[in-house]
Structure 1
Amino acid sequence: MSDNIDEIASEFIQKFESELNKKVEGVLENKVRGMLVDFRDLQKRIEDFPGLFASKIDDVNDAIRATPGTLEESLQKVFVSVEEMEKTTERLLDDYKVTMRANSINELELIKLKIAGQIHESIQNALDKPLEDAKEKRKR
C-alpha cells in the first residue's frame, strides 16, 4: 500500500510539474512575443518617418555605430534578467514540489487514518452484533 501511495504521489507531482512547466513556458513565450511585437512596431515607426527626419535617423544610426558597447551592455542586462528568471522559476518549482509532496503525504496519511477508523468501526460492529443477539436470546 505504501508503494501505491508513493506511486500516486509521484504521479501527482509529475503532473503538477508538467503543468507548471507548460505555464512557465507559456509566460516566457508570451513575454518574448511581446518583445518581438514591440521591436516590429518600432521598426515600422522608423520606416514610416517622412524624409524630413532622415537626417535625425542618420544621426541616431551614427550614434549607435559609435557606441556598440551600449548595445552589448543592454544585451548583457537582458541575459542576466533571463538567467535570474530561470533561477527564480527553478526555485519556485522546487518549492512547489516540496509543498505538493508534503500536502500529498498529509492527504494520504489522512486517508490511511480514515480507512483505519472505518476498518475498526466495521470490526467493532461485526463483534457487537453477535453479542447483542446473544443477550436478546438470553432475555427471552
Structure 2
Amino acid sequence: MSAKLFAICYVQACIDCLTQKFTAKDIIAIVRLSEDDLSKIIYLNIKAFVPLNEPNDHYIESFETSDVISVKGKFVSRDNYYTVSATSIKTLEFNFDDMPVLGINTFIIGITNQTIKNNDDNISLEFYVEKKVREKEPSNF
C-alpha cells in the first residue's frame, strides 16, 4: 500500500547532483506541528528529480535553502524522519516563523477484496487501515 503526502515545509538543506538527463535534489525539510511550540517538528528527507531537456514540463519549481515550499509526493516513515519522493514542489512566500502549521496530510491508496454492501439506501465498503505514521518528539541529527 502506498501513501501520498502533501506538506508545507521549510528547506533546511539541499544538495544538487547533476547527471546527463536530470538534476537530483536531496532535500532536508522541516514541517511545523505546533503554532506555540517551535520544537514540535517533523523532518522530511525529500528526493526530487528535475529533467534537464524538458523545459518547464515538470512540477518542481526552483527553490533555495531557507525557502518555504509545498511538497506533494509518496512517502515512507523512518525512525526519526520521513522519506518523500516528490512529484511536485512549489515555492511559497512565507518564512519559517510565518508558515502555516498544517502538519502532514496523507492519502492512503490500496486494494480491497471486499464487496460493496447495500444497507437500505446506503452503500458501504468496510476495510482496515493500520496507522503507521506517528508524531515523534524531535531529535538531534
| TM-score, scaled relative to structure 2 | 0.19
Structure with the larger strand share: 2
Instruction: Report the structure number with the largest CA radius of gyration.
Output: 1
Structure with the larger helix share: 1
Bigger RCO (CA 8 Å, 6+ sep): 1
